[in-house]
Chain A
């Protein structure tokens, strides 16, 4: 099974638009949207749900007002400032509650319930590009990476069930737990960056994260015509640190027009940009296959 993950470090570099195009170009694959926080792939892929499951994870503390003796011990002990007191009445703010159970354990009146947290929904769907596994965390919920791990497991199960050999995943910006949960065991990480100081800064951090987890990574410089010096600096960084330069793409307003029409750029037009993108995809595939042969 080959697993290709598209990440960026910095948001807005074009990760999702490019992944949608790769999803169009790929064969025998399962598509996975691991950006469970703010998923966007479905806006282009328009998935038809075949399976919908509640995601229940962790807990939250809820004070029973009938049992509460207003001693305030929960507020004293809470490390997350989650306990609110107003006019002598104590409540817990679910946005701040970490689900640690300390208040529940120490409440002298046993007045605090510890409830399951329904954090989101995940789906297995059909799309015109192939089967898709995706999710939506309810806004404000903790993105602990668990939902990401669950989706990856499901994507593998779907791939095995259908005899498919490739999982193509759209990742999240940043370097926190959802990215870490996406990365481990991936065959190739594709980092989409842009030639700007922010793009380069964030690329270095996410590239270091890939190294930390022994995941080989390649770089695509998107909007490469914005700044030649920055683009050259990124190329040099890649060469010095063993990250393959997969390609450079100029800024093309057609990407936004394709997005508005709900199409992948490769569906929308067959211009020079899409020609380059197709060549990049071929390179990604051969690099991923080559990595697979390497004995770890």
Chain B
């Protein structure tokens, strides 16, 4: 089962929930950090790294001797990454979205693949669990290309086991927001956990997240973090929209201080561990239910 831990608003507790679930899950799983702009999961899980590599994207390289200046590539490119500037065919690598169109359309075979560095992918182990993360190069504007590469590697890891062993569960720490990075992180999952906080910002951004994710027909549930800190608007909204509240993590100064030390919250107290054990149990039960086309769980 693949579970994405997402939110609309940043800082609601995605990594807190993701790392805690990994801690109490009780069966071997793969923990993935897809918040490639600001990955934090490794700070809590402290994996033993077993490998790393740079991730690249294919961009066009021009052989001007073969280029006939027909301009087909320049006309096709929607992103102005390749441009016929008078008599010179120029590329602007940072604009490229890697669609492969120019390489495919060139009638002279004057374009060959070159690379743009996206960032780094690293992987390792936490006890019996596997770990995978991406880290975007600073200055690289787009996170989806790196996220796609990480997800491809994840599929490899998921299918690597022997056939008689059931596939490992996957827990994904997603980036905040509701635009393409968040969509990319949750799109292949079986269940989305929306982590929110009971404040006006939390409610507003959660509504956006629900709107963004609903077209994907993936069942969703809510975890309310810092419960008791704000007002009841979030509960009213969940009730009205049929969203199940899977767990509440009470606001507690002690929890905040544990988080500030890098402690996995499920390991900070018996009470917290119980909360996450119950959440994990509920999520595992979701795996056995038929998919609900409405999107709400």
Contact = CB atoms under 8 A, between A and B. Distances in A.
Interface of A: 8-13, 16, 37-38, 40, 43, 58-59, 77, 79-80, 95-96, 98-102, 105-106, 137, 139-143, 145, 172-177, 180, 194-198, 201-202, 205-206, 208-209, 212, 223, 226-227, 230, 251, 253, 256, 259-260, 262
Is chain B's binding surface mostly helix, strand, loop or mixed? loop
Contacts of B204: 38, 40, 43
Most buried by B among A10, A38, A253: A38
Contacts, number: 175
Interface stretch (B9-17, B124-132, B159-167, B288-296): B9-17
Number of chain B interface residues as a range: 35 or more
A209 B139 contact: yes
Given A102-B104, A260-B231, A175 B179 contact: no
A142 B180 contact: yes
A79 B230 CA distance: 44
A140 B183 contact: yes
Contacts of A40: 9, 200-201, 204-205
B98 interface: yes
Interface string B164-191: 0000000000011111110100010000
Interface of B: 8-12, 15, 37-38, 40, 43-44, 76, 78-79, 97-101, 104-105, 136, 138-139, 141-143, 175-181, 183, 187, 199-201, 204-205, 208-209, 211-213, 215-216, 229-231, 256-257, 259-262
B260 A174 contact: no
Nearest to B231: A260
Contact of A176 (B43, B97, B136, B178): B136
Contact of A196 (B175, B183, B260): B260
A51 B130 CA distance: 51
Contact of A259 (B76, B142, B199, B215): B199
Contacts of B256: 223, 226, 251
Contacts of A37: 177-179
A77 B104 CA distance: 9
B187 A101 contact: no
A256 B43 contact: no
A246 B209 CA distance: 33
A10 B43 contact: no
User: Chain A: interface secondary structure?
Assistant: loop
B65 to A, nearest CB: 25
Given A226-B256, A256-B199, A175 B138 contact: yes
Contact of A212 (B76, B138, B199): B138
A95 B215 contact: yes
B188 to A, nearest CB: 10
A66 B149 CA distance: 35
A143 to B, nearest CB: 4
A171 to B, nearest CB: 11
